[in-house]
Amino acid sequence: MMKRRSTSFQNRSSHHQYWKRSLLFVIVLCTSICVGSFVLLEINRPNINLFMPFPNLFTQKPKIAFLFIARNRLPLDFVWDAFFREDKDKRFTVFVHSRPGFLFNKATTKSLYFLNRQVNDSVQVDWGSASMIQAERLLLEKALVDPANERFVFLSDSCVPLYNFSYTYDYIMSTSTSFVDSFSDTKGGRYNPKMQSIVPERNWRKGSQIQWVVLNRKHAEIVLKDETVFPVFQQHCQPVDTSKQHNCIPDEHYVQTLLAQEGLEGEITRRSLTHTAWDLSASKDRERRGWHPATYKFSDATSQLILSIKEIDNIYYETESRREWCSSKGKPSPCFLFARKFTRPAAIRILNLSLPSK
C-alpha cells in the first residue's frame, strides 16, 4: 500500500514538473517571438510606413515646451491653466525660471501644470543684464532633455494666449522655422567695436527681448551650446546711461546676433509671435507715454482690444524698409499668438470675454 502511494506521488510530481517546464518554454518562446518581431518591424519601418494608410499610433507626438521667465510666482497661471487644459494629447511641457529658491507648490500656484516646474538652479535676473540670457539657457537645458520637445516658446509672467491650444500648436508646428524678431540695427550706439574680433558689425542684429522668441530644436541646441558669442555679450554688451555710448541691452540682441553669426537667418521667420504695444504717445497717462511697453489694466481689457490685435496681419520694419506679411501653412494669417503686458485684473476680464477661439 505504501509503495502504491509513493509511486502515485512521484507520478504527480513528475507531471507537475513537466507542465512547469512546458509553461516556461512557452513563455520564453513567446518573448523571443515578440522581441524578434519588434526588431524586424524597426528594421523595416521605412518600407512599412510606405504602405500604412494611418500613422503609427505608438509614435510620440511632437511637443512644445512653454518656458516662462518670472520674477516670483505667475500671476496669470489661471489663464494658462485654462489654455493647457484644452489639450488632451499631452503635446506640451512647462518649465518656469523664477528667482532663486522660489518653489511652485500648492501655496504659490493653483494650477497643476505649474506644480514643481521651476528650474531649481535659477539665477537672479536683472533687467538689461546678461542674466536674462543665462535664465533662457537654463530653461533650454531642462527642456531639451525630453527628445519629444521640438519647439521652445519663451514667455514672460505678463503674457496671455490669444487663441486656444490646438490653433496655437498647429500654427507653431506648421513650419520648421524659428520665430525670431530680427532686423539690422542701423541706428548705432549699441554695437561695441570691442566685439569686432568675434562678432563683426555686419552680423549685429536687434529685435524683441529674449522672452518673445520661438525656437526649433536645432536653434535651441545652438543657443545652449554657444561658448563663443555669449561670453562676448557678457563682457561687452551692458546697459549704461543713455547719454553715453554703447547702451547695449543683451537680451534684445543675443539670439538674433548668434543666429546671424551662424549663418542661419534663412532658417528663421523674422518676426515675433508675441504682441507688445510700444507707442502710447497719445495716452493721457504721463507714466504710459513714450517707447515703453504698455501695461493693460482692467479698463483696457476689452473685446475690441483683443480683436484689434488678432486682426494685425503685417509688421513694418523701418530700419530695413521691410514689411513682413504674416502667414501660416502658406496662407495669410494673424501675426500674433500671444500678447503682453496684462495685469491680473485685465487677464481675469479677458478670460471671461466671449471671444472666438480662432
* pLDDT digit string, tens, across residues 122-178: 999 887 788 999 999 999 999 999 999 999 999 999 999 999 999 999 999 999 999
* pLDDT digit string, tens, across residues 168-223: 999 999 999 999 988 887 666 788 889 999 999 999 988 876 568 999 999 999 99
pLDDT over threshold 60, residue 327: yes
Sequence length of the chain is 358
Cell, residue 66: 512653454
* pLDDT digit string, tens, across residues 256-302: 999 999 999 999 998 999 999 875 555 555 544 445 688 999 999 99
Using alpha carbons, list the distances in angstroms from residue 332 to 80, 178, 313.
27, 18, 7
pTM of the model: 0.79
Name the band, by pLDDT with cuts 50, 70 and 90, for residue 44: low
- Contacts with 167 (C-beta within 8 Å, 6 or more apart), sequence order: 357, 358
pLDDT over threshold 90, residue 60: no
- CA neighbor of 345 nearest in space, from 75, 71, 72: 75
Please tell me the predicted confidence (pLDDT) of residue 239.
73
- CA neighbor of 170 nearest in space, from 226, 91, 70, 267: 91
List helix spans (H) across the chain. Answer: 2-43, 45-51, 77-85, 131-143, 165-173, 217-225, 229-236, 254-261, 303-310, 344-351
- CA neighbor of 249 nearest in space, from 257, 240, 262: 240
Parallel, antiparallel, or unpaired: how do β-strands 327-328 and 214-216 relate?
Answer: unpaired
Please tell me the predicted confidence (pLDDT) of residue 190.
81
Angle of helix 344-351 versus helix 77-85 axis, rounded to 10: 30
Average pLDDT over residues 329-356: 89
Angle (CA) 354 357 358, round 5°: 135
Cβ neighbour number for residue 125 with a 10 Å cutoff: 21
Distance from the Cα of residue 170 to its chain's centroid: 14
